[in-house]
Amino acid sequence: MCGIIGCTGRAEDTLDVLLSGLEGLEYRGYDSAGVALANGSLEICKRQGELDRLQQAVGNSLRGPVGIGHTRWSTHGPPTDANAHPHTDCTGNVAVVHNGIIENYDELKAELHARGHEFESDTDTEVVPHLIEAALAEGASFEAAFREAVSRLEGSYALAAVTADTEAILATRHDSPLVLGVGDDAAYLASDVPAFLEYTDRVVYLEDDDFARLESGAWTVTDADGQLLDKSVSRVEWDAEETAKSGYDHYMLKEIHEQPRALRKCLRGRVDELTGSIQVDSLEGLSPSSVQFVACGTSYHAALYGAQTLRDAGIPAQAFLASEYATAPAPVGDDALVVGVTQSGETADTLSALREAQRRGVETLAMTNVVGSTATRECDRTLLIRAGPEIGVAATKTFSSQVVACNLLAATIADRGDSREIVEALRDLPGQVQELLDASRAESVAKRFVDSEGYFFIGRGHHHPVALEGALKMKEITYKHAEGFPAGELKHGPLALVTDQTPVFAVVTGDGEEATKTVGNVKEVEARDAPVVAVTDGASDASRYAEAVLEIPETHPQVAPVLANVQLQLVAYHVANELGRSIDKPRNLAKSVTVE
Ligand code: F6R
């Protein structure tokens, strides 16, 4: 999705800050990028394609004390130089960058066109600089013109604007994130903290319809009526090192390897090994009659896991795809809870489902990785998963942390007092993930099957979400066909697709009834000559029917999915690496999907 960066107060190196900010936003996914610097006139450079192209085109020729930059992920019009942001007015004196969608741009464009404005792009954004131009022409100040333009907009937006002759950036947001960075003598603006984390870890989260003014390194925030707001400055816990590749070839691999640390952070201060109890401050007093999870993609798989874990703990629970939640039945009982599982806290579909829940009068909980994200600000409660920044588009460590957070949620609200068994398993989990990472044979399995036609993933019970997640990871970074199924479902149709060219990854742990049934399903595919890869703790005889085995340490059945999933993350990574794919930025995908 699109990204915004802005800065004032840096004097000589504004351009460097903008370009490194855009690099920090690359992970969100983009297809073009641009910058504008103001120094009495506006200097603008924008290019379709990777940031390198912009960097080459811009050299280090642009100077100015104020600048804004943007990475674009096309919605209105193809990725071209002309459609890249910043967009300008007819005079070239106003430049604007925008995330989101302006829904009434057609009518605004027609109106402006009729008043003689000329447009150069297919974008919805371009109406904004022209609206500002029109108000300036009537004698308004830059700030009044900006407010006037914003008052005409419908839809979602994070906007930043500069003019040639003011040393200020004006910005506002509505349903699209925007955060200020507070430096010693500089002020920054971004859609996402990693864009300026190199320069400051002090931030101010803007609320919907706040207006920010950044000038000569200082900042103020006012409301829609221009009243000064008293905003608190908070410190983000992430450091720049966490958002660097640190010697790994890809962020995804780094993040897979960060899982032991991420899980320790998720558990810290929340589990008590002595008493076997689990306590999460933000969940205190929560005792819902039923729970609905809403989420998308990988987070939906964690939500499926969460719903099953709650049901196992005796709490009625269901998981819904957030984009389908509008048609879901109302939750059962007066004290229901809706949990939005969302790494970014900004996914439009999930936010919209949470808002639907609030309209229905239901309490909401954001299970998220991002402090200050929209989900945290809009929900009644927040359960932070504390995975640290995730830059690779494919979610890895955040899935593991979400699964662990679901266990914390289940143990807390089921209120069974002694959760000793699960506490012990969770305590050992980070070490076991490390053990698995050190010994994994996923790379050789990936090399063995890199040329396969497609991949199937099966798992039962708690391993069903892992099968879905294994397939999603495989398809999104390798671009090859992959499907995940509940193990028992394969024979009801998909089995027709299984051949000796389609390895089947079977997740089987323990030796109980579930495992026995899954081993039965393994035999079915093996009998059709499909190579089987058993992802197993070795307790069942699944390995006997497998061409390859990915071992996982023995643990509590509820915790085993995390370990199995790490093996599948590694397989997908190594297949994609063998194929030379763009692992951290897969085609067509964005890290944070802020449109419905
Ligand atoms: C897949 C992936 C996506 C996200 C989905 C939801 O690897 O990352 O499927 O899980 O877009 O994003 P969040 O969790 O930010 O709501």
Is residue 468 classed exposed, middle or buried when 0-12, 13-18 and 19+ CB atoms within 10 A define those classes? buried
* Helix locations, 9-82, DSSP H: 14-25, 51-58
* Position 112 pLDDT exceeds 90: yes
* Position 61 pLDDT exceeds 80: no
User: What is the C-alpha to C-alpha distance for residues 35 and 262, in angstroms, rounded to an integer?
Assistant: 35
Q: Whose CA is nearest to atom 10 of ligand 1?
A: 298
Q: Which of 235-239, 260-264, 583-587 has the highest mean pLDDT?
A: 260-264
256 lines ligand 1 (CB under 6 A): no
Q: Smallest Cα–Cα separation from 292: which of 346, 334, 330?
A: 330
Mean pLDDT, to the nearest integer, of 146-152? Answer: 97
Cα(398) to centroid of ligand 1, in Å? 9
Cα(475) to centroid of ligand 1, in Å? 14
pLDDT at 11: 72
* Position 333 pLDDT exceeds 90: no
Least confident window among 6-20, 100-114, 252-266, 314-328: 6-20
294 CB contacts (<8 Å, ≥6 apart)? 303, 319, 320, 321, 322, 325, 338, 339, 340, 341, 350, 353, 354, 357
With bands split at pLDDT 50, 70 and 90, how would you rate the model's confidence at 50?
A: confident
* Position 265 pLDDT exceeds 70: yes
Cα(505) to centroid of ligand 1, in Å? 22
With bands split at pLDDT 50, 70 and 90, how would you rate the model's confidence at 246?
A: confident
Q: Whose CA is nearest to atom 3 of ligand 1?
A: 297
Q: Whose CA is nearest to atom 16 of ligand 1?
A: 342
Q: Smallest Cα–Cα separation from 195: which of 203, 303, 111?
A: 203
| Active-site option among 254, 265, 397, 591 | 591
* Position 92 pLDDT exceeds 80: yes
CA 161 to chain centre: 26
What is the H or E stretch that residue 46 is in? strand 42-48
pLDDT at 164: 94
pLDDT at 378: 92
**For residue 228, what is the DSSP state?**
B
Is residue 301 classed exposed, middle or buried when 0-12, 13-18 and 19+ CB atoms within 10 A define those classes? buried
Is residue 349 classed exposed, middle or buried when 0-12, 13-18 and 19+ CB atoms within 10 A define those classes? buried
Percentage of the chain exceeding pLDDT 90 = 79
Closest ligand 1 atom number to CA of residue 300? 10
Query: Which of 362 and 77 is assigned the larger pLDDT?
Result: 362
Cα(589) to centroid of ligand 1, in Å? 10
pLDDT at 415: 66
Mean pLDDT, to the nearest integer, of 267-289? Answer: 89
353 lines ligand 1 (CB under 6 A): no
Task: Enter the pTM of the model.
Answer: 0.81
pLDDT at 25: 85
Cα(381) to centroid of ligand 1, in Å? 21
592 lines ligand 1 (CB under 6 A): yes
pLDDT at 590: 80
Mean pLDDT, to the nearest integer, of 557-579? Answer: 98
156 lines ligand 1 (CB under 6 A): no
Cα(64) to centroid of ligand 1, in Å? 37
Domains and CATH numbers, the chain: 3-242 (3.60.20.10), 245-436 (3.40.50.10490), 440-596 (3.40.50.10490)
2 is catalytic: yes
Q: Whose CA is nearest to atom 6 of ligand 1?
A: 296
565 lines ligand 1 (CB under 6 A): no
pLDDT at 276: 80
Mean pLDDT, to the nearest integer, of 367-375? Answer: 90
Mean pLDDT, to the nearest integer, of 61-80? Answer: 87
**What mean pLDDT is reported for the chain?**
93
395 lines ligand 1 (CB under 6 A): yes
* Position 466 pLDDT exceeds 90: yes
Mean pLDDT, to the nearest integer, of 267-296? Answer: 91
591 is catalytic: yes
253 lines ligand 1 (CB under 6 A): no
Least confident window among 330-334, 453-457, 584-588: 330-334
**For residue 299, what is the DSSP state?**
H
352 lines ligand 1 (CB under 6 A): no
| Active-site option among 2, 7, 45, 379 | 2
Closest ligand 1 atom number to CA of residue 344? 15
Is residue 407 classed exposed, middle or buried when 0-12, 13-18 and 19+ CB atoms within 10 A define those classes? buried
Least confident window among 89-103, 137-151, 405-419, 544-558: 405-419
* Position 242 pLDDT exceeds 90: no
Cα(297) to centroid of ligand 1, in Å? 5
Q: Kindly report, residue by residue over 395-417, the tens digit of the pLDDT.
A: 999 999 999 999 999 999 986 65
Q: Whose CA is nearest to atom 7 of ligand 1?
A: 394
* Position 418 pLDDT exceeds 80: no
Mean pLDDT, to the nearest integer, of 319-344? Answer: 93
Cα(299) to centroid of ligand 1, in Å? 6
Least confident window among 324-338, 445-459, 512-526, 544-558: 324-338
pLDDT at 63: 82
With bands split at pLDDT 50, 70 and 90, how would you rate the model's confidence at 90?
A: very high
Least confident window among 105-109, 275-279, 438-442, 506-510: 275-279
Candidate of 344, 397, 477, 591 to mutate for ligand 1, largest count of ligand atoms within 8 Å of Cβ = 344
